[in-house]
Each structure stands twice: as structure tokens, then as C-alpha cells.
């Protein structure tokens, strides 16, 4: 069981869910529908919270959340299955990379390898969320540049 505090849920899980849905929209090359975007993001955040409460091994929760995201992407966001699979894999890889980089910084630079409180855990894990947001923004910029080049070529 991987319990989340209220602080982590509201300031980590929900923003991360929004970013994951943004990645799906970016790879689907689809304009964001605000209502679907908010509904999908909040459902993903709530399900993530629920799955983390299950008595399962670490890592299994990620696989369950990935499968649920694919279903939500199909039926709520209305993107093709291949795009939803690709986007969730990219999201998980980017989140893992950001958390790995953050862990290296915490352990090697700041000498923090253990959290005494949920507040300290939240503060120490915030940089990985910021890194993930920056990576999503970079994907957005790259996608727009590619779309503009193809638009110029074909028009």
C-alpha cells in the first residue's frame, strides 16, 4: 500500500494527472476540450489515489493506472487507442526519468535519503513534478514547430 497524504494528492497527483492528459492531447494532435480535460484528469487522479490504497506490490499500481488511462483516453478524451498507449508510455517514462533525476539530486547533493514527514516528502518531490511540466512544455513546443513546418510544406 502506497498511501498519499492530502497534500500529495492535491499538489502532486492532480497536477500530474493534468500533465498526463495534456501529453495525450498533444500526441493526438487534438485541441483540448476543457470539460473532457478536467473530467479525465480528475478521474485519473482519483483512481490513482484508490489504486495506491490497494494492498499490491510497488509497480503493479503503475500498470493498473496505465490500463485505466488507456480506457479513459478512449472513452472520455476520445483519442485512438494507439495514441493513448503511446502517450501513457511516454508519460510514465518521463515521470520515471524526472523522479530518478530528483532522487539522484536528493541523495548525492542534498544527502536526503529518508523522509520524516509527508510535508518533507512533498517538498523534496516537487522538483520532479516541475521537471515533468517542463518536459511536457518542451513536447508542446516541438510539436508546434513540426506542425508549422508541415503546414508550410503542404500549403
Residues 6+ apart with CB under 8 A from 87: 20, 23, 24, 26, 27, 28, 73, 79
Question: How far lies 84's CA from each of 11, 36, 89, in Å?
Answer: 24, 15, 9
**Residue 85: predicted pLDDT:** 98
pLDDT band at 87 (very low <50, low <70, confident <90, very high): very high
Q: Alpha carbon 41 to chain centroid distance? A: 10
pLDDT averaged over every residue in the chain: 93
Percent of the chain at pLDDT > 90 equals: 79
Cβ distance 13 to 2 under 8 Å? Answer: no
Classified as helix, coil or strand, 87 is helix
Amino acid at each position: 500500500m502506497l498511501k498519499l497524504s492530502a497534500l500529495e494528492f492535491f499538489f502532486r497527483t492532480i497536477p500530474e494527472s493534468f500533465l498526463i492528459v495534456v501529453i495525450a492531447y498533444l500526441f493526438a494532435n487534438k485541441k483540448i476540450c476543457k470539460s473532457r480535460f478536467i473530467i479525465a484528469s480528475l478521474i485519473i487522479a482519483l483512481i490513482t489515489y484508490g489504486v495506491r490504497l490497494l494492498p499490491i506490490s510497488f509497480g503493479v499500481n503503475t500498470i493498473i493506472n496505465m490500463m485505466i488511462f488507456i480506457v479513459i483516453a478512449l472513452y472520455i478524451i476520445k483519442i485512438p487507442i494507439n495514441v493513448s498507449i503511446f502517450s501513457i508510455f511516454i508519460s510514465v517514462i518521463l515521470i520515471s526519468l524526472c523522479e530518478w533525476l530528483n532522487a539522484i539530486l536528493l541523495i548525492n547533493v542534498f544527502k536526503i535519503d529518508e523522509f520524516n514527514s509527508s510535508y518533507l516528502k512533498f517538498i523534496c518531490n516537487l522538483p520532479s513534478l516541475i521537471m515533468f511540466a517542463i518536459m511536457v512544455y518542451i513536447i508542446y513546443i516541438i510539436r508546434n514547430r513540426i506542425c508549422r513546418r508541415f503546414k508550410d510544406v503542404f500549403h
